[in-house]
Chains A and B, each alone.
Chain A
Amino acid sequence: MQPAIFAEGIGKSYRERMLGPRKAVLREVDLEVIPGAIFGVLGPNGAGKTTLISILATLLHPDTGAARVLGLDVVKEAGKLRQRINLAAAGAHFLWCLSVEENLRFYGRLYGLGGRALTAKVEGLLDLFQLREQRRVLFEHLSTGLKQRLMLAKALINDPELLFLDEPTSGLDQDMAQHIREEILRLNRKTGLTILLTTHNLREAEMLCSEVGFLKEGRLAARGSIPDLQRRLGLGDHLSLIFRDSPAPLEYARLPGVLAHRIQEARVDLVLDRAEIRLAAILEAVAHAGHELAQVKVKPMDLEEIYREVTH
């Protein structure tokens, strides 16, 4: 199956001032995203996330390497590709003197829509993003959240096959952010829309992404599904056993699924590959040793740990 995104050796550097030295923003980035996936690009500020998304979205030419999106070269076949992709980015900016509806119509026309097809599309998007009440409000008078909703509505105006989302829920209140995430998931599941998103919100990435990639200093430091990364990086769920007196005298490292352990007075902290399937066996071993437990705490591994491990 042809990948939705295939990038090889992408590099990009900028001069911060004329004749000054070039600063590398992306170095030799390889990326492959399968059709229908939601791929998350994560990384600290300045890691190159927006530069990468801009190259793949045909808005920036790479210095080195090549990328194909939906089978089309992002530089040589940008015109054809733009028909099939769209972008929503944080910090929504549109023509300030047009209303919500006029902005959608304006962008619809840029994609060749007109007449009834355009009207139907605009009406559907106004409903989908709950913008009907604000349809005649000028863009400059919208709140940040409403601007962001309009941004997402615009990104769907051409029924894209691949959507680039740069911090899509930034600036939205919790309810609307959740609504947007659910909408992204629904679109992905219903239409098979491939999505490449950047986010600072790791919970969002966990909720949405089937696969993530971590950019660090312009390099793709790690990529894969969350369980896959967890295995490769030796990260896992945390299990804390707090004994009444002293810890059970067990060889904790040999217990099934234990990736790491630490004993501190009456407390034993274990890192497990998967707590839900190992917990029963470990508790049984502890009970067998005859030491009474005062407390058991399980903390599932989260993306934040992977993020810390990869980016620091």
Chain B
Amino acid sequence: MNRRNVFAVFEMLFWPAIGIFSVGLLTRFLNLTEETVTFILIGAICMNTIQIAQLDLSYALLYSVWSKSLKHEFIAPIRLGHILLGAGLMGLIRGFLVFLVMAVMSVAFFDMELSRPGAGGLALLLAGMFINAAIIGAVVLALVLRFGQRAEVAAWAFSYLMLLLCGLYYPISVLPAAVQVLAQFIPLTYFLEYFRHFYGFPLHFGRPLLYGFSLSVLYILISYAVLLFTLRSAFRRGILLRLSE
């Protein structure tokens, strides 16, 4: 599908490139230190990687909703796990490619320094990003199964709001106190904190990896349960049929 979908190419190359160049040029204009440039650019990379990875998960149903073929997919003997695994793997591959493209651009054009946290630090950040993408994707899928196409905009708005709260381009400490409380409930906050502390930025929360992974596991379980419940409800309420009309 992606071969023929010009938007897929835009999603993977055009928008990430625009993101890196606009943020990168801003850092150059502000004449920031190498550490701060990395702080900001890793935020831009995170946002695009997560968006692409979660989109693939959402597309598992959205393509069928857009083409009104949902009932033909669900009359086939596939389980929710098959859909999530297949779409999740595609999201992982596309998300990783976007990460690579953006990271190479950032290093080549804006002197970002990625090697300081080492391969382990980078791998942990990637794991955190993909787990967050999976959580957002599962929530979007549940919303689409419950509210149909109307949910798309709300779903993506929700993911951007989450990225805003987790301190994508700034430290959590600059957020208002009440919002900082909300940021504590977002796993990505901890993974970004962990990665950035290698560049000399102080940790706002202790044990970021423990909290990041614990919250991630909890949210993964909750979002899967919600998705399963929503799917059963869709079979009861005839939503699959309504979305196929």
Contacts and interface: CB of A to CB of B under 8 A. Distances in A.
| Real binding pair | yes
A94 interface: yes
Contact of B75 (A14, A58, A93): A58
Contacts of B69: 93-95
B79 A110 contact: no
A200 B64 CA distance: 28
A82 interface: yes
A58 B67 CA distance: 21
Interface string A93-125: 111111000000001001110000000000000
Contacts of B76: 82, 107, 110-111, 158
Interface stretch (A84-92, A188-196, A237-245, A250-258): A84-92
Interface in B1-42: 1, 4-5
A89 B77 CA distance: 18
B55 interface: no
B79 A107 contact: no
A2 to B, nearest CB: 21
B149 to A, nearest CB: 14
A154 to B, nearest CB: 7
Contacts of B244: 93
Contact of A57 (B64, B75, B245): B75
B242 to A, nearest CB: 10
A80 B75 CA distance: 11
Interface string A118-138: 000000000000000000001
Given A54-B241, A60-B235, A97 B1 contact: yes
A24 B23 CA distance: 57
A45 interface: no
B75 A85 contact: yes
Contacts of A80: 77
Interface string B70-109: 0111111111000000000000000000000000000000
Contact of B238 (A14, A58, A82, A83): A14
B68 interface: yes
B236 interface: yes
Interface residues of B, number: 26
A71 interface: no
A27 interface: no
A46 interface: no
Interface in A183-229: none
A79 B72 contact: no
A98 B236 contact: no
A59 B1 contact: no
A94 B63 CA distance: 10
Nearest to A95: B67
Interface of B: 1, 4-5, 63-64, 66-69, 71-79, 235-238, 240-241, 244-245
Interface of A: 14, 50-51, 54, 57-61, 79-80, 82-83, 85-87, 89, 91, 93-98, 107, 110-112, 138-139, 154, 158
8 nearest A-B pairs in the assembled complex, by CB-CB distance: A110-B76, A93-B68, A82-B77, A83-B77, A61-B236, A61-B235, A95-B67, A93-B69
23 contacts: A54-B71, A59-B75, A60-B236, A60-B238, A60-B240, A82-B77, A83-B77, A87-B72, A87-B75, A89-B71, A93-B72, A93-B244, A94-B72, A95-B63, A95-B64, A95-B69, A96-B67, A97-B1, A107-B76, A110-B77, A111-B77, A138-B4, A139-B67
